[in-house]
Amino acid sequence: MEKKICKDKMAVAKAFAHDFSDMVKREGPIHVALSGGSTPKLIFDVLAATYGQTIAWKNIHFYWGDERCVPPTDNESNFRMTQEHLFSKIKVPKTNVHRILGENQPQGEAMRYANLLEINLDRVNEIPQFDLILLGMGDDGHTASIFPHEIDQWNAPDHCFVATHPETGQKRVSISGKVINRAKQVVFLVTGKGKAEKVRDIFHEREGHEQYPAALVRPTSGRLTWFLDEDSASLL
């Protein structure tokens, strides 16, 4: 479990953008699952500004680790956030963007997306394998939309499932922990003081850390990197 500690959020964005540009310097197709929430906004802005003209975007297929069950135009939509901060600034073929259809009935969409992953990705022991999965982590230790109160969904039998946000009750479609841990490479992008306690608990394997879904991210490939800023790493 590698960690890269950068001064601040901008430094995380620059460091990740550099590494990402190296990761994708090869023949496609490269299948990447994106994280949502607010952390990726600056990261996507920097990626587009720094490498927008140099990365061969046509080789990259974009998916999401999770999506809120809202229309793609909704402020809560991870697709909309990615459209605003990345896709609107780069030339990526529309056929390379495989969004989770948040406007669809959740259970039906979870099944549809799971089938899409089966069709588009190689499978290893029946589990679709991403080349790269980006993850964030909530203050409660959730990742993708696998929340502590639903941690049994980590081993959901299907590749995707319908999650419920513990505070808002918002429905979300998420990939399972099995899909996360099958990825060739997983990168956490975690910044801010609010994450520091959980980062410490996970890295120090403190009592009860296994109740945090983010602590269960252990890709069998062994390629797991945490990009942290000094705030989120302040208790390490």
The separation between CA 58 and the C-alpha centre of its own chain, rounded to angstroms, equals 20
Strands 2-6 and 60-64: unpaired
Our CB check for ligand 6PG shows the closer of 24 and 100 to be 100
**Near ligand 6PG by CB under 6 A, which window of 8-16, 17-25, 113-121, 142-150?**
142-150
| Binding piece for ligand 6PG, criterion CB under 6 A, among 10-18, 52-60, 138-146, 218-226 | 138-146
What x-and-dash track marks residues 45-74 binding ligand 6PG by CB under 6 A? Answer: --------------------xx--------
Q: Residue 134 and residue 183: Cα distance in Å, rounded?
A: 10
Decide if residue 39 touches ligand 6PG (CB under 6 A): yes
For residue 23, give the H/E element and its range.
helix 9-23
Closer to ligand 6PG at the Cβ: 59 or 211? 211
Amino acid symbol at 209: H
Residue choice 77, 143, 176, 181 for contact with ligand 6PG (CB under 6 A) = 143
Question: How many residues belong to the site for ligand 6PG (CB under 6 A)?
Answer: 15
C-beta neighbour count of 95 within 10 angstroms = 8
Among 106, 138, 141, 213, interactor with ligand 6PG by CB under 6 A: 138
Interatomic CA distance for residues 172 and 126, integer angstroms: 24
Given a contact cutoff of 8 angstroms between Cβ atoms, the answer to whether 40 and 34 are in contact is yes
The enclosing H or E element of 9 equals helix 9-23
Where along the sequence are the contacts to ligand 6PG (CB under 6 A)?
35-39, 65-66, 78, 136-138, 142-145
